[in-house]
Structure 1
Amino acid sequence: MEKVPAAAGVTLPCVPAAAKTARDLVRTRLLHAGLTEVSDDAVLVVSEIVGNSVRHSGTRYVRIWMTCTGRVVRISVADSSRTLPTLIIAGDNDDGHRGLGLVDALSYRWGADLLELGKVVWAEFEVAPPVASGNSSDLGELATSQSGTVHGVALREGDQRRAAG
């Protein structure tokens, strides 16, 4: 897998326009790395996670980055709110509460890590094995700390996803 420049991570104002920037970042980095098989799902998921941060965090900035290790692409979104996301199953007549349901349905697994100064919400996508074996590809900077509480990994019957942690 080709190494992607460290510019894959970006800090943005926590405003609605950040979702479009995040979608563009994810699509471009996955295309550059030859990982287009997860692009559509990853773009929708990052948009939902950034949108949740914009709507619910009350913070000034959001940080987005991507990493790829082996067969897993991880998209991470950090903000300075310590409120963890909650998966709500929307009813047929509900106008909202579908975002994390989409994240759950489209990603291999997802969760949130509570940090000293906020949280990171992440989603992972499985990709085809790399043609040549080697080290992990860096699709952006690594999180300085990803320890904390995992939250929001909803496993369904017959689901092959593993709980994180």
Structure 2
Amino acid sequence: MHRSTAQQEQAHLLTVAGPDPLAHARRRAILLARRTNGYRAPGAVVLPYRPEAAGMARRLIRQKLTAWELPKLVDPAVLIISELVGNAVKTGCSSFMVVRVHRLQGSVRLAVRDGSRTLPVLLAAGEDDECHRGLALVHMLTAGRWGVTPDPFGKTVHADLAYRPDSSTQGRIS
């Protein structure tokens, strides 16, 4: 039986991943990024609930926004995905989260699906508070275009970054 290149890469990935779930997630992120380098193809990666997951998610976001020629969205998108992944890590789930990025007409959607049904809450942090600022940052960077979709086994938190799609202001946040 003849296997496609993608099937061969996946078989190799599974062979070399071994028992380390973080190593497996890194290899899977690389494989998925390779497969989704198309102009509008969405990016997705399955990550463990560990602090290192944020770095892998940021790498995916940078790769996709660079491929889509949206360099001005990289910094805000990296901040947003760091917050969403950080919140997912704090849920205490033991399986995997899924990080996705989609290019839509006039916006880029960042999304994190986790296994917790606890919904995020936008809190007003006091001057001396050391936490509760992340979702306020997401709210500010997206002009309030973020939300949550519950499902039977968890939820997906998404944030949309708008840009002007014409070629003269490519990647410019609107």
TM-score interval (norm. to shorter): 0.7 to 0.9
TM-score (norm 1): 0.74
- Describe the superposition over 1:62-98 as per-residue Cα deviations: whole angstroms up to 9, x where unpaired: 1001111110110010011111100111100111111
1:115 to 2:142 alignment: no
Between structures 1 and 2, the one with greater helix share: 2
- Describe the superposition over 1:17-43 as per-residue Cα deviations: whole angstroms up to 9, x where unpaired: 001111111011101110112110010
Mapping for residues 40-119 of structure 1, pairs under 5 Å: 40-108=75-143, 109-119=145-155
**May I ask how many residue pairs the two structures share in their alignment?**
129
Q: CA deviation at 1:60?
A: 2.2
Q: Take 1:33 and 1:98, find their aligned partners in 2: how far apart are those partners?
A: 29
Q: Which amino acid aligns with 1:120?
A: T
Q: Take 1:35 and 1:80, find their aligned partners in 2: how far apart are those partners?
A: 31
Q: Identify which of structures 1 and 2 has the higher relative contact order when contacts are C-alpha pairs closer than 8 Å and 6+ apart.
A: 1
* Equivalent position to 1:24, from 59, 69, 80: 59
Kept after mapping to 1: 8 A contact 2:40/2:103: no
Larger-Rg structure: 2
Q: Which amino acid aligns with 1:38?
A: L
What is the RMSD of the two structures over their aligned residues, measured on CA atoms?
1.5
Q: Which amino acid aligns with 1:128?
A: R
* CA 1:119–1:55: 2 relative to 1, 3 Å: same
Q: Which residue of 2 aligns with 1:3?
A: 39
Identity of matched residues, %: 39
Kept after mapping to 2: 8 A contact 1:74/1:124: yes
- Describe the superposition over 1:111-147 as per-residue Cα deviations: whole angstroms up to 9, x where unpaired: 110012110000001112144xxxxxxxxxxxxxxxx
TM-score (norm 2): 0.70
Kept after mapping to 2: 8 A contact 1:57/1:79: no
Q: Take 1:130 and 1:26, find their aligned partners in 2: how far apart are those partners?
A: 21
Q: CA deviation at 1:5?
A: 4.5
Q: Which residue of 1 aligns with 2:26?
A: none
Structure 1, unmatched stretches of 5+, are 132-165
Partner SS for 1:40: helix
Partner SS for 1:15: coil
Q: Which residue of 2 aligns with 1:33?
A: 68
Q: Take 2:52 and 2:149, find their aligned partners in 1: how far apart are those partners?
A: 24
